[in-house]
Structure 1
């Protein structure tokens, strides 16, 4: 069968979709990709025969370029005669479903990587995103959700032909659980850390949603010079966060490491993981930290609550609760036994999100749509 994968930007394909596309290719299907190519598509997919089409989707829902992208996508689907379109991310998925709504014999799967309208979400999100999703649901053969809140809400409010839940986009848990290629002391030395200090790690884009500021302020409130904070990621708030660290006098404790390719190694050098996001579809970085055996300190919102259990996996509190994060950090700092017990629990609990489970559900969905 001829299948088109659609996302707003190519990095989404590289970060989450490669195992899913490989599954389809191994079953003998032709899979092509349409997206705004911000980074080159994983070469393994190109070598396996995937064609890549550059479509100028923009993340802003008000960008006029999205109309041009919609027209190009519709022409592509018609000319290439795709039988199935599997779409991801809000903007691309809106364009894809509009493009397919009057094309006969094309099935549409939409994976929602976290609705923008959720419990405690700003009213603006409900006013902008919910009406669009409600309207487009009727042009969706299968709506896939990756967290339980979205699944329950979709069943109540959206009228897709079928609604499925899968446990995230899939993580190779063995890659982290069985990884032992890093000498912790050497890695800490490389990162400029003293072995006797307590190190918290965060991984994520430097933006408002990832909310690193809450953890920085929590560390400042604690006033404990033996606590370090490593932030891996790049983004628009880099200069702001750098200034905040300087303003709070935390230059020796907080390090902005930029984008990294050695996250599994850095996890081995850390003592705990912080994930204070305002919203997450699920949160791959936190799951990778759990698989690495780290306790997690997280916000208690949206997809994160599918795995973060206060007092069991670590600690969870409101994303803006600086004092709550400070208390969680302090408790883990003071109790090595709790850290080890929570880390061990996390390595077992995270297995439900393994890529093998995700791919099994996806395979069933494709088979139900008669993808032969």
Structure 2
């Protein structure tokens, strides 16, 4: 049987939410039958590039989307697809902008063109008119519409599209067994990081406006006033990291905030935390909140997180309109060490284990590659 090669269209294969999800799929899919290739919108090397090449994937590069260089971008897409007519399935993960690669793919007769929604909102900015245009026209060029949650699907494709046959909800699943709480791992990581006896509040996410780090740091300031033994662990990198570091320094919290950078041991860092806090302005799902629950960790999240992420009784939402003191009070409820539980069965029974999702994807790719 000939191997099916699926072209995934992404921004760059860095260690962010969408990219980590794709790598979870890629590691667990049957690569003797299905191979992933990646068309990225950056020329520089991504965090996952070496692993992709090691797994047998190919990586292609085109320039980033730039409204001021629109024609050059469209030409680059046309040139790519004219030179790579071997792809029968193109799976695009760049939200509204998926319109462009899927249109270029349609021009050369690619039969299966998937638009995948990973977010449920984008704030207004200078690119808003550009997004409105691409969002309006996207469905002309996609044959199939995927989303990580119903909210994400309605945002990108419209409420009516979610009920159609060509729509699928593809859950942002994880290797749940990897996250099962382990006291030995917790002790080892806390010892390595000098966290013994500390109240550790964790957050995982790219430093950008969406993740709302400034608000989180303000909340932590209130927690620190009440419990100076508290530590805020911020995992990730991004364009707003330097301003977050400055905020921490200006508030006199430098000794109590850890910036870990990008890490490949998220499953172990979650063991070391005492509570996970996720005050995002918007999310398509919020896969890290699922990972935190899989680690038996209590989670305090914003009311923008889709209902699909509420898998266990460990997760509590608070309005972003609530005061920093309200958030601090909720987080401080977990100040005293509590008994962590094994939530694997709950994760699995709610279809968040990667093995189930991969079977669904494999079935879709097999079926549609033959049509």
Scaled by the length of structure 1, the TM-score of the pair is 0.83
Q: Residue 130 and residue 345 in structure 1: after superposition, are their counterparts in 2 closer, same or farther (change >3 A)? A: farther
1:103 Cα shift? 3.0
1:107 equivalenced with 2:112 (yes/no): yes
- Alignment-derived partner of residue 229 in structure 1: 232
Name the structure 2 match of 1:344: 341
Determine which structure has greater relative contact order: mean sequence separation of CA pairs < 8 Å that are 6+ residues apart, divided by chain length.
2
Q: Say yes or no: does 1:269 pair with 2:275.
A: no
Match of 1:73 in 2: 77
Displacement of 1:355 in angstroms is: 0.9
Q: Does residue 78 of structure 2 align to residue 86 of structure 1?
A: no
Which secondary structure state, in structure 2, belongs to the residue aligned with residue 53 of structure 1?
strand
Which 5+ residue runs of structure 2 have no aligned equivalent?
Answer: none
Secondary structure at the aligned position of 2:292 is classed as: helix
Determine the structure 1 residue equivalent to 2:38. 33
Contact 1:210–1:276 (8 Å) recurs in 2: yes
Which of residues 54, 58, 72 in structure 2 aligns to 1:51? 58
Indicate if the aligned counterparts of 2:179 and 2:268 stay in contact, CA closer than 8 A: no
Does 2:142 match 1:176?
no
In structure 2, the residue matched to 1:362 is: 361
1:256 is displaced (CA, Å) by 2.1
- Cα RMSD (Å): 3.1
Residues 104, 292 of structure 1: alpha-carbon distance in 2 compared, 3 angstrom cutoff: same
Q: 1:249 to 1:308 in 2, by over 3 A?
A: farther
Aligned in 2, Cα 1:139/1:260: closer, same or farther, shift over 3 Å? Answer: same
Of 146-155 and 10-19, more deviation after overlay is shown by: 10-19
Mapped to 1, the partners of 2:314 and 2:196 lie a distance apart of 26
CA contact (8 A) 1:7 1:92 kept: no
2:219 is matched with 218
CA offsets 1:118-149 (integer angstroms, 9 cap, x no match): xxx65988755344223111211111000121
Structure 1 CA distance for aligned equivalents of residues 353 and 50 of structure 2:
24
Corresponding residue SS for 1:344 = coil
The CA distance in 2 between the partners of 1:368 and 1:155, in whole Å, is 26
Rounded to whole Å, the distance in 2 between the matches of 1:302 and 1:130 is 23
What is aligned with 2:144? 142
Question: TM-score, normalized by length of structure 2?
Answer: 0.83
For residues 136-184 of structure 1, the C-alpha deviation after alignment (integer angstroms, 9 at most, x for no partner) is 112111110001212345352559871111111x211111116566251
Partner of 2:20: 15
Change (3 A) 1:105 1:188: closer
Determine whether 1:166 maps to 2:166. Answer: no
Q: Give the structure 2 partner of residue 259 of structure 1.
A: 262
- Alignment CA distance shift 1:212-1:306 (3 Å): same
Which one of the candidate residues 82, 87, 101 is aligned to 1:96? Answer: 101
**Paired residue total:** 356
Distance 1:267 1:49 in 2: 30
Query: Is the CA contact 2:24–2:175 (under 8 Å) kept in the aligned structure 1?
Result: no
> Which residue among 325, 328, 332 is the counterpart of 1:326?
328
Separation in structure 2 between the aligned mates of residue 240 and residue 44 of structure 1, nearest angstrom: 31
